[in-house]
């Protein structure tokens, strides 16, 4: 049997490769991909939530100024209690001049105030994107080089013949079983190498991250800022519902109740505000769940990225299964090579 020199002891080579490129690398790439996905979910959900925060503030401000022109005369502050019993829309029933700007109603849009949070979200999104890019990078297919060589010039023919000791004569066709066996073998080696290279790139990327950009720090910062924005959102929802309820109370309780259409609109507006307050209270808990999932995924990825990771039972079973499948594939490759070159 005239196997290429590199394949004289293929069983040793393949067994060594199967062991060296153990399934932990596959696990590492899966976890990094998961972090990328969770990070994208965090970025998308957080931006949506901040949009809700911004529009809720604007909605509350609109309600305030629409309900009482005095609320728009800066600096103004809310009355405690509001002056009921006057016929709406009496100016000054809800707001009065504020002695200073400390607790005055702020009618400015929130966009500028949201920027630091949006920057933190972007940093987290960049981190996740980088991980995803590394995991999904497409290196040159090692087996493609073999097929390309078959279709090109004499120089390639010489090199091919020299390397694989196929003897003189025309190049074998791409359909030749020897070529297919070699191509599959190179492809298999290439996959293992690509996997190892990606893990190496991930480790390099993680090591290069500055301390202040570490996800744990970014997440802590984000949680703190989002807590603040949740308080802002919930407060604005209370303001909108309360004003709506006050206007409804005025419509139905005054000596001469409003017209049917007026009562209908006031009732509908109140129910709408009430439902919106209850519904929007569910957004933030869901968002913190997404943040929790990202933090957990990132922690798992960093744990398995170490040289000798401490795997849990489930991970060990998974790695064992990957290795078993890989070894079977290595042996299949070996059988195909031996069969193809037998008698050459």
Partner 1 sequence: MTTKSELRQSLVALANAIADLNSPFASPATRARWSGHALHAASLGRSGAWRNLPDTGADYDGTKAALDEARTTLEDSASSAARVQAVLARLEHILD
Please report, as ranges, the residues that interact with partner 1 according to CB under 8 A.
57, 60, 77-85, 94, 102-103, 105-106, 113, 224, 227-228, 230-232, 234-236, 238-239, 241-246, 248-250, 252-253, 270, 277, 281
- For the bound state, the minimum distance from the C-beta of residue 212 to partner 1, rounded and expressed in Å, comes to 19
Torsion of CA 105, 107, 110, 112, to 10 degrees: -100
- For the bound state, the minimum distance from the C-beta of residue 61 to partner 1, rounded and expressed in Å, comes to 10
Alpha-carbon distance of 136 to 131, in angstroms, equals 9
Q: Which is nearer to partner 1, 246 or 295 (CB)?
A: 246
Q: Which is nearer to partner 1, 248 or 340 (CB)?
A: 248
In the numeric block, which tokens belong to residue 235?
């407060």
Q: Which is nearer to partner 1, 19 or 83 (CB)?
A: 83
- For the bound state, the minimum distance from the C-beta of residue 237 to partner 1, rounded and expressed in Å, comes to 8
Phi-psi region of 5 (alpha: psi -120 to 50; beta: other; left: phi over 0): alpha
Using DSSP's 3-state secondary structure scheme, residue 167 falls into coil
Using DSSP's 3-state secondary structure scheme, residue 303 falls into helix
The count of other CB atoms within 10 Å of the CB of residue 310 is: 8
Alpha-carbon distance of 96 to 323, in angstroms, equals 74
- For the bound state, the minimum distance from the C-beta of residue 78 to partner 1, rounded and expressed in Å, comes to 5
Q: Which is nearer to partner 1, 14 or 114 (CB)?
A: 114
Q: Which is nearer to partner 1, 184 or 246 (CB)?
A: 246
- For the bound state, the minimum distance from the C-beta of residue 113 to partner 1, rounded and expressed in Å, comes to 8
Q: Which is nearer to partner 1, 228 or 321 (CB)?
A: 228
Return the axis-axis angle of helices 177-208 and 313-341, rounded to nearest 10°: 150
Distances (CA, A) of 154 to 51, 186, 208, 224, 289: 64, 22, 45, 67, 62
- For the bound state, the minimum distance from the C-beta of residue 131 to partner 1, rounded and expressed in Å, comes to 30
Q: Which is nearer to partner 1, 103 or 320 (CB)?
A: 103
Our measurement of the distance from residue 214's CA atom to the centroid of its chain's CA atoms, rounded to an integer in Å, reads 15
- For the bound state, the minimum distance from the C-beta of residue 271 to partner 1, rounded and expressed in Å, comes to 10
Bond into 75 cis (ω within 30): yes
């Amino acid at each position: 049997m005239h196997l290429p020199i590199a394949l004289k002891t293929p069983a040793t080579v393949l067994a060594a490769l199967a062991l060296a490129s153990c399934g932990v690398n596959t696990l590492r790439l899966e976890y990094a991909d998961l972090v990328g996905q969770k990070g994208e979910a965090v970025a998308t959900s957080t931006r949506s939530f901040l949009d809700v925060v911004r529009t809720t503030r604007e909605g509350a401000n609109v309600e305030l100024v629409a309900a009482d022109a005095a609320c728009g005369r800066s600096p103004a502050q809310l009355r405690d209690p509001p002056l009921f019993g006057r016929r709406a829309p009496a100016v000054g029933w809800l707001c009065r001049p504020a002695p200073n700007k400390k607790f005055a109603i702020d009618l400015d849009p929130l966009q500028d105030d949201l920027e630091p949070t949006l920057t933190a979200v972007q940093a987290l999104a960049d981190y996740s994107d980088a991980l995803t890019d590394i995991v999904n990078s497409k290196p040159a297919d090692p087996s493609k080089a073999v097929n390309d060589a078959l279709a090109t010039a004499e120089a390639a023919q010489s090199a091919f013949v020299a390397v694989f000791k196929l003897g003189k004569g025309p190049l074998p066709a791409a359909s030749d079983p020897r070529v297919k066996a070699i191509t599959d073998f190179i492809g298999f080696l290439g996959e293992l190498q690509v996997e190892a290279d990606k893990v190496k790139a991930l480790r390099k990327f993680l090591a290069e991250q500055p301390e202040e950009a570490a996800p744990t720090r970014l997440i802590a910062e984000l949680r703190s800022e989002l807590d603040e924005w949740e308080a802002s959102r919930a407060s604005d929802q209370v303001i909108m519902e309360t004003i709506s309820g006050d206007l409804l109370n005025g419509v139905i309780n005054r000596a001469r109740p409003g017209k049917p259409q007026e009562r209908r609109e006031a009732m509908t507006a109140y129910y709408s505000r009430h439902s919106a307050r209850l519904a929007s209270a569910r957004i933030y808990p869901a968002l913190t769940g997404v943040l929790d999932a990202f933090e957990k995924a990132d922690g798992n990825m960093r744990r398995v990225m170490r040289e000798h990771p401490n795997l849990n039972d489930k991970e060990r079973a998974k790695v064992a299964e990957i290795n078993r499948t890989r070894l079977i594939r290595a042996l299949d490759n070996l059988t195909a090579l031996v069969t193809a070159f037998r008698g050459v």
